[in-house]
């Protein structure tokens, strides 16, 4: 049993077929994260249609936030406040300085992130975080959230710096590894620094990685690669990361 802990399932043309193909490779759960106001109802519908398989993540992505008028962001936050209790996870949320280059734009992303983290804390939901071009800032928020709430905090696609991973390990922040680990030596080195009890798997489907189309079934290749790097069997790596995911969700 393997879990793809970060996937934009609602962006795929035929999620049911994709889930069946993933299940055939042993991927039995997929966290479907939203990005936009429109994708939140789609994610909830997918979780209803595939109970036990699709884990709903609701949230507003920083890149989306930076491209919307303030009224659209306010409406998105209102929907999130009303529907987050129906989801299992807050995500995909975070900061993205590729889309926010001025101090004003960055402050707006931070304000919306703070609002979303407060909703997660109030609803008792773990968080799934994006951190392009500002990994340290997002990591600090993950650590603070985890300390203040005791809830799970996950940094997705966070395999850039061993130094930051050591701080995550000390603070008990989860880090998910995706298909970059298949061919990128730096990702491999950083992934090996993640504490065993904090390691999660992901694909970030449908973002193409290493020139290849992406899909949740690729979680198996990621797991096989990590197992080989760590000197574990695939079964042991699967058991380890699935137990981590359940602890992150607060299921045990
Ligand atoms: Zn994503």
- Residue range 151-194, pLDDT digits in tens: 999 999 999 999 999 999 999 999 999 999 999 999 999 999 99
Query: What is the rounded average pLDDT for all residues in the chain?
Result: 97
Separation between Cα atoms, residue 36 and residue 76, nearest integer Å: 8
Give 182-208 pLDDT, tens digit per residue: 999 999 999 999 999 999 999 999 988
Q: From ligand 1's centre to the CA of 167, what distance in Å? A: 22
Which residues sit with Cβ closer than 5 angstroms to ligand 1, an ion? 92, 204
7 backbone dihedrals φ, ψ, rounded to 5° = -150, 135
Instruction: Find tokens 């030596």 and name the residue.
Output: 185
Q: Which residues of the chain have pLDDT under 50?
A: none
Give the CA angle between residues 187, 204, 88 to the nearest 5°.
Answer: 120
Spacing, Cα 92 to ligand 1 middle (Å): 6
Spell out the domain ranges in the chain: 2-249
Instruction: Report pLDDT for 209.
Output: 84
Task: Write down the pLDDT at residue 212.
Answer: 81
> Cα separation of 56 and 120, whole Å?
13
| CA gap 170, 49 in Å, rounded | 38
Cα of 189 to ligand 1 centre, how many Å? 22
pLDDT of residue 57: 98
Total-model pTM: 0.97
Virtual torsion, Cα 108, 111, 117, 120, nearest 10 deg: -90
CA angle 86, 91, 93 (to 5 degrees): 140
| Gap from CA of 134 to ligand 1 centroid (Å) | 15
Ligand 1 midpoint to CA 6 (Å) = 6
pLDDT of amino acid 252 = 64
Distance 171 CA to ligand 1 centre (A): 23
Ligand 1 centre to CA of 105 (Å) is 20
Q: Does domain 2-249 have CATH number 3.40.50.11540?
A: no
């Amino acid at each position: 049993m393997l879990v793809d802990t970060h996937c934009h399932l609602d962006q795929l043309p035929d999620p049911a077929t994709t889930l069946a193909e993933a299940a055939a490779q042993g991927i039995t759960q997929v966290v479907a994260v939203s990005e936009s106001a429109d994708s939140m109802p789609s994610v909830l519908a997918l979780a209803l249609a595939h109970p036990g398989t699709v884990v709903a993540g609701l949230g507003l992505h920083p890149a989306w936030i930076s491209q919307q008028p303030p009224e659209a962001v306010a409406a998105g936050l209102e929907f999130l406040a009303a529907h987050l209790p129906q989801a299992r996870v807050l995500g995909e949320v975070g900061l993205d300085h590729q889309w926010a280059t001025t101090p004003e734009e960055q402050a707006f992303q931070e304000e919306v992130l703070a609002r979303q983290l407060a909703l997660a804390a109030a609803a008792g939901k773990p968080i799934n975080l994006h951190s392009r071009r500002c990994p340290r800032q997002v990591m600090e928020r993950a650590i603070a959230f985890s300390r203040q709430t005791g809830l799970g905090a996950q940094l997705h696609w966070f395999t850039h710096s061993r130094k930051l991973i050591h701080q995550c390990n000390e603070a008990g922040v989860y880090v998910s590894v995706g298909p970059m680990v298949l061919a990128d030596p730096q990702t491999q080195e950083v992934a090996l620094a993640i504490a065993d009890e904090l390691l999660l798997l992901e694909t970030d489907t449908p973002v193409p990685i290493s020139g290849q189309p992406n899909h949740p079934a690729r979680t198996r290749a990621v797991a096989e690669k990590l197992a080989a790097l760590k000197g574990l069997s695939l079964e042991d790596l699967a058991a380890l990361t699935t137990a981590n995911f359940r602890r992150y969700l607060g299921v045990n």
